[in-house]
Every structure is written in C-alpha cells, then in structure tokens.
Amino acid sequence: MKKSALLLGALFLSISLFFSPAYAVVAPISNVAGNVAVPDSGTLKSALAEFKSLSRKEKKERMRDVKKALKEYKAEKRSGNGSNANIVEIIFAILIPPLGVFLHEGEINSKFWIDLLLTLLFFLPGMIYALVVVLGAD
C-alpha cells in the first residue's frame, strides 16, 4: 500500500513538474558549450524585426538553414563518444522514469508518452525503457 501511494505521489510530482508554468522560467536555453545563453529583449526584438522584414524566399532559405543546423546538432549529439546522458537524467530515469525521458529528449514526444504509459501500467518496464532511452541504446 505504501509503495503504491509513493509511486502515485511521484507520478503526480513528475506530471506537475512537466506542466508547471514555472518550468519555462527555470529552464533557460543552453548553447552547445553548456553555458546559459538568454538573449536580452532588445536583441530578440531587433532579430525578430529583421526576420519579418525579409522576403518570402529569404525567410524560406533561413528556415531551411536553421532546420539543417538543428539536424546536424542532433546527429552530432547522438554520435558523441559514449553516452550523452548525465547523472541527473539517469537518477530521474530510475526514480521518476517519465521525467528522466523528458529531460533527455528536451520535449514531450512519443518516447515520453510510451514511458509514461509503461510507468503507469507497471513501474519496472517504465524504468527499463527510460534507462534505454537515456543511455542511448535505441
């Protein structure tokens, strides 16, 4: 009984963390080196104004370049030496599996939903799937 109550409490905690509006404030954008890079509002507004002033063709080209750069970054991240998982992701994958998957993936995607379902049905398969996702053995 205590174990199921503890599991239910951990599940509600992980869900509240996912859908909390405070998460947007706590999780700033990180660059490749891991340093926090939050642009000031003036820079952001000027960049947005510059983008809006571009022609349709130039906007498409820039969006294509951004998608290409994002694709290269993801491929580089996946092909890195060894595991890209840090210790926090592994701990959360063991204790609160959906949170570990979310932290690793950086978004709520199909892997998150699969892990949430497995965790709700049975905790152990959810934990195993989370470790598989976090440790990169797709």
Query: Which one, of 76, 109, 112, 75, lies nearest residue 92 by Cα?
Result: 112
- Listed in sequence order, the residues at least 6 apart from 39 whose beta carbon sits closer than 8 Å to its beta carbon are 47
Q: Which pLDDT score, from 0 to 100, does residue 82 have?
A: 45
Q: Which pLDDT score, from 0 to 100, does residue 22 have?
A: 42
pLDDT of the chain along its 138 residues, tens only?
556 665 656 655 556 555 544 444 444 444 444 454 677 888 888 888 888 888 888 888 888 888 888 888 777 777 764 445 578 888 888 999 999 999 888 888 999 999 999 999 988 999 999 999 988 854
- Answer whether 98's CB lies under 8 Å from 116's CB: yes
CA atoms within 13 A on the CB side of 22: 2
Q: What's at 48, amino acid-wise?
A: L
- Answer whether 97's CB lies under 8 Å from 130's CB: yes
Q: Which pLDDT score, from 0 to 100, does residue 115 have?
A: 93
C-alpha triplet 25, 32, 138: angle, nearest 5°: 95
Q: Which pLDDT score, from 0 to 100, does residue 80 have?
A: 61
Q: Which pLDDT score, from 0 to 100, does residue 116 have?
A: 92
Q: Which pLDDT score, from 0 to 100, does residue 39 have?
A: 75
